[in-house]
A and B are shown apart, each in its own frame.
Chain A
Amino acid sequence: GQQLNQSPQSMFIQEGEDVSMNCTSSSIFNTWLWYKQDPGEGPVLLIALYKAGELTSNGRLTAQFGITRKDSFLNISASIPSDVGIYFCAGQWIRNTGKLIFGQGTTLQVKP
């Protein structure tokens, strides 16, 4: 079956530092999504990517759809305490079915 490897599993950084996390897949995806989950809440969509090579920003967040279509990364610049949470990548491998495959998540902690 399809698998997503998300790394790192966890990060502990100082406020103001930049953060980078990535996901790799054993299969080609048509769509990559990045979500953030706060404790006790559902995942919130941050960025959606639809084309290989696409680079998209949302405030301090930037994500890219890898050229091979098997990977994606998410960068957070100038981290702040409210960036704390679990970040998930998700890939969709067949258009129109809607089924997403999720990574295991990256837990981010930010020290003020």
Chain B
Amino acid sequence: DARVTQTPRHKVTEMGQEVTMRCQPILGHNTVFWYRQTMMQGLELLAYFRNRAPLDDSGMPKDRFSAEMPDATLATLKIQPSEPRDSAVYFCASGPGQGMREQYFGPGTRLTVT
């Protein structure tokens, strides 16, 4: 049963620290998305990649957030320095094909910045 995996599942850190979240997309999927979920804003798209190339990161605060795909099996989202307002659940999702319409979500990383 192919699934998107994310690590860590939970992260508590102090303000100012660097946070790195990892995602392994479903094998064969060529589109990867990063979302943030909060009670106030719901699900927000931060960035996405197709064939490892970043296509859109307009939803991401550029000064502190960065997203990369070092290879087809790994996507990373980094926050440096972290702030309390970054506390949220971060989801990675992947999708198949060029005309991709469906996205399959991972279990998320719950981040708490104190």
Q: CB of B106 within 8 A of chain A?
A: yes
B5 CB → nearest A CB, Å? 11
The interface-forming segment of B60-68, B73-81, B94-102 is B94-102
Q: Mostly helix, strand, loop or mixed at chain A's interface?
A: loop
Name the A residues within 8 Å of B43 (CB-CB). 43, 88, 102
| Among A40, A97, A100, residue most surrounded by chain B Cβ atoms (within 10 Å) | A100
The interface-forming segment of A15-23, A44-52, A62-70, A74-82 is A44-52
Q: Which of A31, A42, A97, A102 contacts B42 (CB 8 A)?
A: A102
Count, A-B residue pairs, CB within 8 A: 55
Q: Which of A40, A50, A100, A104 contacts B103 (CB 8 A)?
A: A100
Q: CB of A58 within 8 A of chain B?
A: no
Q: Assuming the A-B contacts A42-B106, A42-B107, A45-B103, are A98 and B42 also in contact, with contact meaning beta carbons closer than 8 angstroms in the complex?
A: no
Name the A residues within 8 Å of B93 (CB-CB). 42
* Bound complex: CA A92 to CA B45 (Å): 12
Contact B42 A96 (CB under 8 A): no
* Bound complex: CA A41 to CA B45 (Å): 17
| Interface bits B40-62 vs A (CB < 8 Å: 1, else 0) | 00110100101000011000000
* Bound complex: CA A40 to CA B98 (Å): 30
Name the A residues within 8 Å of B101 (CB-CB). 31, 33, 48, 50, 92, 95, 98
| Interface bits B84-97 vs A (CB < 8 Å: 1, else 0) | 00000001010100
28 pairs across A/B with beta carbons < 8 Å?
Answer: A31-B101, A33-B101, A33-B103, A40-B108, A41-B107, A41-B108, A42-B93, A42-B106, A42-B107, A43-B43, A43-B91, A43-B105, A44-B105, A45-B103, A45-B104, A45-B105, A48-B101, A50-B101, A95-B99, A96-B100, A97-B55, A98-B31, A98-B100, A98-B103, A99-B48, A100-B45, A104-B42, A105-B42
Across the A-B interface, give the 8 residue pairs with the lowest CB-CB distance, nearest first. A42-B105, A102-B43, A31-B101, A43-B105, A98-B100, A104-B42, A42-B107, A42-B108
